[in-house]
Structure 1
Amino acid sequence: MRWRRSPEFLKLWTAIGISAAGSAVSGVALPLVAVVGLGASAGEMGVLAALRVVPHLVLGLAVGVWVDRVSRKGLMVGADLGRAGLLGAIPLLAATGDLGMGYLYVAAALVGALTVVSDTASLALLPALVRREELVEANSASMLSQTLASTAGPSAAGVLVQAVSAPFAIAVDAVSYVGSAVATYLIKEPPRGEQPRTQKQTLGVKELFGDPVLNPLVRSATVAAVAGAMQGPLVVLYLVRDLGWSAVQLGLAVTALGVASVVGALVAPAYSRRLGTGRAYLIGQSVAAGAGFALALAWWPFVFVGQVMAGLGMTLYGVPQRALRQARMPDHLLGRTTAAWRTLVIGGQTVGALVGGLVGTLLDLRAALVISSLGMLAGVVLAYFSPVRSTR
């Protein structure tokens, strides 16, 4: 692959992979600290989970402007070291008996805020480290490392928690952020030209909706995100309560999704080149939309087909849409347009999860899965009848 000839991108790719692996561990270990170590209630767990997401919605647009004004590499290093310190304090406080839910709340919120900074800066820095024609391959490699981490990380976290306890498993994540900071620090960040004065105060939303290709793309992705997130809180409940699946069967289904995501990231470059980025996005989103229909059939082979479709589709549409955004925006707007995109899409996922729970309660879980997939297909239609379809 051509991107392998870019030593600066390889450093960024290494940093992303290291921090993603550590984050996958703490994603399991942190809730266990709250539940097992501190006896957290369901309400407290809900607050803890929400505090990790809220910064994406509250800070996203402002962070985007900041990322376009200062060194992106410097922001990433600072965010990594900040997260290392916040998480590294958890095992120390646990060892002295001073750890409480108050600190976990603070750590969750601040780690979430620093993650917004780091993710936005890394997505904006990536296009400066590879050539334009390598964007799809570079994004595929980046997504592959994150997917591998999210697939293998929970299992590794379980082993670590069993071996050394949940608070000390979080120390692994803290160390991973230090490693990520070192890899990022070694990147030679290319100089940026002077930012046009007329665009300094924008937040990126105007630029996204002002582009003839990105306008329908962001509308499509936001609608699909709202609809797709309806399935998030329902799938486990559906498999366990309605279908009577065991924990082993559930684990196999989750593994199938993870493996399909890895396969999707591996084939995404050739797939996107063959079809063109616009059609690759449309087909990938359509594949992901079919997952809910397959799950609703309620027969175990179709459940696994649905999980494979969800994992495969996620990367087959995710890689080309990232490349399209990066290719169509100038460098001085990449930070804010990336942040604007993430605010809309992550905000949509928050709304979708709440709507999914409501629909699943008022109707039933199978109906909610079907409605979710229909909503995702509506997002595909928005992009199909637009310049996205013919964009290469």
Structure 2
Amino acid sequence: MPDNKFKKTMENPVKITEILRNQNFLKLWIGQIVSALGDRFHQMALLGLIMKKGGNVGEELSKITFWSVLPFFLFSLISGVLSDRWSRKSILIGSDIARALLVCAIPWVIGSPGSINAAYPFIFTIGIFTCLFSPAKFSIIPDLVKNRQLLVANSLIASSALLSVLAGTAAGGIIFDSLGFKASMFLNAFAYLFSAGTIWKLRTKETIHTKIKSIVDVFADIREGMKYIFHEARVIILISFGAIFWFIAIGFYVIISDFAGKVWGFTALTPLGLIFTLLGGGLLGGSLLAGKYGNRMQRNTLYTGSIWMLAFGIIAFSSFQSYTVALCIIFFIGIAGGAFLTPINADIQEIAPDGLRGRSFACKDIFMNAAMVAPILIVGKLTTFIAIRKLMLYLGVGVFLAGIFVAWKSIGLNAIREHAMKDT
């Protein structure tokens, strides 16, 4: 009976150690930690190169972001098809090797003058392989763990990625300052190759699908994927939740970066860095908490509770002048954000059939990247004519209103809890 199974799940929740004893998942997890660290090395190296040359940092970073994100809009639907038709393991290995070679080429194409413009085609091409890598990575996880372990497995993937961002950003700056641009890029290449090596050692059975014979098959698969996604309301809901989160997250990032100077009067990066470190720590904690306790509650309780906690945290942040109080609130905001974000990938994995999983995650990538770009354009403009504390307050109120939508739509996700109890 479902209720008895749920009671048993509450009494015997999935432990992190249980997941880490799974050698296949452990290899993927370690590889992604190293790969995420490497990503930060080359990003910090590019930032350091721009700052060293005295260029317009904001403008150049916008260009790098544009060329990195553009492939997701152009090729995500195709990458989803390939993830569902080809061996996901082979896609992951090939993408990592290709990115390693491209990263190694960047110092050579830039040359000694250090003009960043020559690197844009390579940044764009790296983005293509990242676009190919992303749906394959999330689609292969259900092949490595049991259904009831998906939430914890995804919380480990998400939390380790966040931890790698924090550690990699700090380490990337040190490496660039002490070893230089080339060393940073070569270390990133090594990280990609290390990831490829760990994935190569995975032992998993993949479903063999019909080979793609022509471009007609690709478009037919795209049409099939879109038909499934738009008829499976739960996948649409989860994709919309992901887009909501990233719009909020990037909007908050833009506002708080301006908040530090206009409200606290900071001119140095260190106090703002502490804010982002605590935010990342909260995201890490929230992700782990959702992984450990998420299957003990209904999905609408988890999603609605966490987004309203996020809303109240942002509203409280806008209400206090004290930097010390802000440090406490920012950690709370991070916990709420991590708890909201973590179940989304696990729930898509539960719902989408194996043959359509790649296309589901590819569609999610499109909306996620659109949601990340939009607030940079919208919120950035609003900061010029709305007082920054008011803008932070408006964001908090907007998140609360979004929470009403989440509360309404997440009711349809409650059946996922029962499915997560099964070990099939």
* Same fold per superposition (TM over 0.5): yes
1:218 pairs with 2:229: no
Q: Residue by residue, what CA displacement relative to the aligned partner does 1:161-191 show, whole Å, maximum 9, x if unpaired? A: 1211233222211111111111111112422
Q: 1:247 to 1:227 in 2, by over 3 A?
A: closer
- Tell me, what secondary structure is at the counterpart of 1:97? coil
Other-structure match for 1:105: 120
Other-structure match for 1:285: 307
Structure 1: distance between partners of 2:184 and 2:61: 19
Structure 1: distance between partners of 2:257 and 2:393: 16
Q: 1:200 aligns with which of 203, 209, 221?
A: 221
Structure 1: distance between partners of 2:248 and 2:276: 20
Other-structure match for 2:346: 323
Deviation at 1:130, TM superposition (A): 0.7
Structure 2 gap ranges (5+) = 1-16, 212-216, 418-424
Other-structure match for 1:272: 294
Q: Is the 8 A contact 2:143 2:206 kept in 1?
A: no
Q: Residue by residue, what CA displacement relative to the aligned partner does 1:236-259 show, whole Å, maximum 9, x if unpaired? A: 111123321343322221111122
Structure 1: distance between partners of 2:250 and 2:57: 24
Q: 1:126 aligns with which of 117, 137, 141?
A: 141
Other-structure match for 1:382: 405
Q: 1:163 aligns with which of 178, 182, 207?
A: 178
Structure 2: distance between partners of 1:86 and 1:98: 19
TM-align CA RMSD: 2.5
- Tell me, what secondary structure is at the counterpart of 1:213? helix
Q: 2:60 aligns with which of 39, 44, 58?
A: 44
1:302-341 counterparts in 2 under 5 A?
A: 302-341=325-364
Other-structure match for 2:392: 369
Deviation at 1:193, TM superposition (A): 5.1
Instruction: Indicate the larger mover: 127-136 or 374-383.
Output: 374-383
Q: Residue by residue, what CA displacement relative to the aligned partner does 1:320-375 show, whole Å, maximum 9, x if unpaired? A: 11111110110111100001012112212211221111222231222222222223
Compute the TM-score of the two structures, normalised by the length of structure 2.
0.85
Instruction: Indicate the larger mover: 144-153 or 300-309.
Output: 300-309
- Tell me, what secondary structure is at the counterpart of 2:48? helix
Q: Is the 8 A contact 2:242 2:364 kept in 1?
A: no
Deviation at 1:41, TM superposition (A): 5.9
1:25 pairs with 2:48: no
Amino acid across the alignment from 2:264 = L
Q: 1:224 to 1:176 in 2, by over 3 A?
A: closer
Structure 2: distance between partners of 1:92 and 1:221: 38
Structure 2: distance between partners of 1:206 and 1:307: 40
Instruction: Indicate the larger mover: 195-204 or 141-150.
Output: 195-204
**Amino-acid identity (%):** 22
Other-structure match for 1:14: 30
Q: Is the 8 A contact 1:292 1:373 kept in 2?
A: yes
State the aligned residue count. Answer: 391
Other-structure match for 2:3: none
Deviation at 1:376, TM superposition (A): 2.4
1:62-101 counterparts in 2 under 5 A?
A: 62-92=78-108, 97=112, 99-101=114-116
Compute the TM-score of the two structures, normalised by the length of structure 1.
0.91
1:150 pairs with 2:165: yes
Structure 2: distance between partners of 1:208 and 1:269: 25
Other-structure match for 1:238: 259
Structure 2: distance between partners of 1:288 and 1:307: 10
- Tell me, what secondary structure is at the counterpart of 1:187? coil
Structure 2: distance between partners of 1:39 and 1:20: 27
Q: 1:379 to 1:193 in 2, by over 3 A?
A: farther
- Tell me, what secondary structure is at the counterpart of 1:351? helix
Structure 1: distance between partners of 2:179 and 2:239: 44
Other-structure match for 2:10: none
Amino acid across the alignment from 1:108 = I
Structure 1 gap ranges (5+) = none
Other-structure match for 2:14: none
Amino acid across the alignment from 2:177 = Q
